[in-house]
Homo-oligomer: A and B are copies of this chain.
Amino acid sequence: MTAERIDGKSIAADLRDKIAVEAKKLIDETKIVPGIAVVIVGEDPASKVYVASKGKAAKECNFHSVQHTLPEDTPEADLLVLIEKLNTDDAIHGILVQLPLPNHINESKVLNLIRPDKDVDGFHPINVGLLTAGERDKALVPCTPAGSLILAKRVLGNLSGKNAVVIGRSNIVGKPMAALLLAESCTVTIAHSRTKDLPEVVRGADIVVAAVGRPQMVKGDWIKEGACVIDVGINRIDAPERGEGKTRLVGDVDYDSAVERAGSITPVPGGVGPMTIALLMANTLTAARRAAGLSDLDFAALLAEVEAA
């Protein structure tokens, strides 16, 4: 059996198209243009690539998009002043501070200052608390797990009663992923570096979400026959087979062996990654709609419409 390849890149493109249409409707009906501010401090090359992708996606989605690029040695106080300004700027519905921040800046102090209703990354404690408490409709949900959930539901439909194993317990992916799967009525296990006999734990899973940041760690013989495998990892490894000094991207799952056992699997790149940016746009649209007193859209349902069309 060879697994169905879950084409996150194409699904994310469909989602961005749908968001663009919905944003246009919002603008026509309310004159409110969804606005996102992306803040980047310093010159980290990977961060610059991510920020550029986010800006591009925002434009495709008909959003108002601004980027604040601050020098590496920006004092923390200056960054906090900028956040305060964006908090009270009515043209901005979503604020994203690109991580990591330079060492002299207290990351959680900055993130906790972002107004929860503009916290499109979903990292503010109050958004974490609302998601955990099952009040997703009041929260903004972290983008990577929200995108991963859409992929899993597209393949499996209703997730109720399925055994899900989340490998990794980060605040950005592992924990919110577990909260989302629990809200879908999965039996959820959170595994991590201290877990004993991880292969055996993974073998019990109908859904495996790998978010550890270790290249190709999850092997094919850990995967239950037919399971849905969501690979959140993005790791760069040497690829001498492509020529001297060449590298390539791989996930946390050993794709070549896992694809022979799984029922469905996300590739890296082109799986979860594009979904993360699409969900950032979805969160910004949600924040703008809530600011206008409108109810949330069901993005999974919007995607289903794309297919039916």
Interface of A toward B, CB cutoff 8 Å: 124-130, 132-135, 160-161, 163, 169, 171, 175, 178-179, 182, 185-192, 194-196, 201
Contacts and interface: CB of A to CB of B under 8 A. Distances in A.
A26 to B, nearest CB: 27
B185 A188 contact: no
Contacts of A188: 189-190
Given A125-B130, A175-B132, A201-B187, A182 B169 contact: yes
Contacts of A195: 161, 187
Given A129-B124, A132-B129, A175-B132, A182 B190 contact: yes
A117 to B, nearest CB: 13
Given A187-B189, A188-B189, 12 more contacts: A125-B126, A125-B129, A126-B126, A128-B128, A128-B129, A129-B132, A132-B171, A133-B171, A134-B171, A160-B194, A175-B182, A189-B190
Contacts of A125: 125-126, 129-130, 133, 135
Specify how many copies of this chain sit in the oligomer: 2
B129 A161 contact: no
Contacts of A185: 192, 194
Given A132-B175, A133-B171, A187 B192 contact: yes
A178 B179 CA distance: 11
8 contacts: A128-B128, A128-B129, A133-B175, A134-B171, A182-B190, A185-B194, A187-B191, A189-B190
A226 to B, nearest CB: 15
Nearest to A191: B187
A135 to B, nearest CB: 8
Contacts of A192: 185, 187
A194 B161 contact: yes
Given A134-B171, A182-B169, A187 B187 contact: no
A130 B133 CA distance: 12
A196 B132 contact: no
